[in-house]
Structure 1
Amino acid sequence: MRAIRVASAALLGVAALSLSAPAAHAARGSDITSFGFGVTPSAVAPGGQVILRVDGCHRRTTVSSGVFDAVSIPRGQSSATVTVDADARPGTVYEVTFQCGDESGRTDLTIIGVHPTRHPGHHPTRGSHAGAGGTVAGFDLSEIGLGAALVAGTLGVAWHWARRRPEDGSHS
């Protein structure tokens, strides 16, 4: 009888976790496609270059944005490099659209400020800018906290069910 309770608690935990993952993904506003896509880096200075990546599209992929000329990634290739317009405004976020057949997916490209040119022998007075502004791999702290709370709650319920004594006083 105890094994049934433990198994039930474990299954409940797995079900809760699997049902919360799609909701967290949808909350981020990402497009769901049968193919993968991305822009690297996701933040670039005006006139900089980015790599457009596509995975799992078995057709020609067209990539377009208001910050660079449309580019076509031929069938069988997985990436292309484009140059961002030199007159792109820093602080602006542009949408990049990947079109594979009848499906399309979108992601953002952020234009960052231009850093001053460094001269040989010149040492910067401040450290380099690093990180993604309070996010970890695309998740913000509220999503991580919500996920941790769901996991903790599920484990607590599973522990409670596993420790419950039978009502009739019999031991299994």
Structure 2
Amino acid sequence: MRAIRVASAALLGLTALTFTAPSAFAGDGDDHNITPFGFSVQPSTIAAGGRLSLLLKRDGGCNGTVRISSGVFDTVTIPSGRSSAMATIDRDARQGAVHEVTFVCDGVSGHTNIAIGTGTGPGTGTGIGRSDDLSPVQVPVQQGVRAGVGGSVGGFDVKEIGLGAALVGGSVGVAWYMSRRRGASDDA
């Protein structure tokens, strides 16, 4: 009988501890962009037939050739030692559509999106992504997550710590009380 009480108290305490543990998450649900290298596309909205700048920041995490693919342009490679390339958007790309662009280096991949805007090529629509502009636009490059501290930096929330301690303490107290109460009724 005593073993059942101890097991019940242990299970209750473990359950309370599980519910007080913080849940881990990677931000907005977009965990496909954690890469050892930074990448971006410019512009993020482009006309069909326009030219897209594909930018890469290696940061020591990507030493080989980078392969970049999407459903609206032919696969492009950036050789080792280079940090940018250009791609031409298909002329039949549907206005308003959003397409994923995938960067792959050393077996690691990251994704970003581009939107197809108004216009059909050079000098039309918004002028975004004109094909007569062959120089890439210099912009800040998207970088991967700096991991390793596990959320331990950034301050403590005293209310959350107090609530967690109260829940754990309360569950242990209730388990102890229930085991003592049952022990007294079994002895009688």
- TM-score, length basis structure 2: 0.48
Distance 2:91 2:72 in 1: 9
How much has 1:25 moved relative to structure 2?
3.2
Distance 1:117 1:76, change over 3 A: closer
Unpaired runs of at least 5, structure 1: 1-18, 119-137, 139-150, 158-172
Question: CA offset at residue 60 of structure 1?
Answer: 0.4
Measured on the aligned residues, the alpha-carbon RMSD in Å equals 3.2
Query: Structure 2: where are the runs of 5+ without partners?
Result: 1-21, 126-141, 143-153, 160-188
Higher strand proportion, which one? Answer: 1
Mapping of 1:13-162 within 5 angstroms? 23=25, 25-56=27-58, 57-114=62-119, 117=124
Amino acid at match of 2:79: P
Misfit runs of 4+, over 3 Å:
22-30, 115-118
**Is the 2:63–2:80 contact (alpha carbons within 8 Å) kept by the matching residues of 1?**
yes
Aligned-pair CA distance for 1:31: 1.7
Structure with the greater alpha carbon radius of gyration: 2
Structure 2: distance between partners of 1:114 and 1:27: 32
AA matched with 1:106: H
Q: Give the whole-Å Cα distance in 2 for the aligned partners of 1:107 and 1:87.
A: 21
Compared CA separation, residues 28 and 99, structure 1 to 2 (3 A): closer
Q: Distance in 2 between matches of 1:41 and 1:34?
A: 23
Provide the aligned length of Structure 1 versus Structure 2: 107
In the TM superposition, what is the alpha-carbon distance from 1:29 to its structure 2 partner?
4.9
Scaled by the length of structure 1, the TM-score of the pair is: 0.53
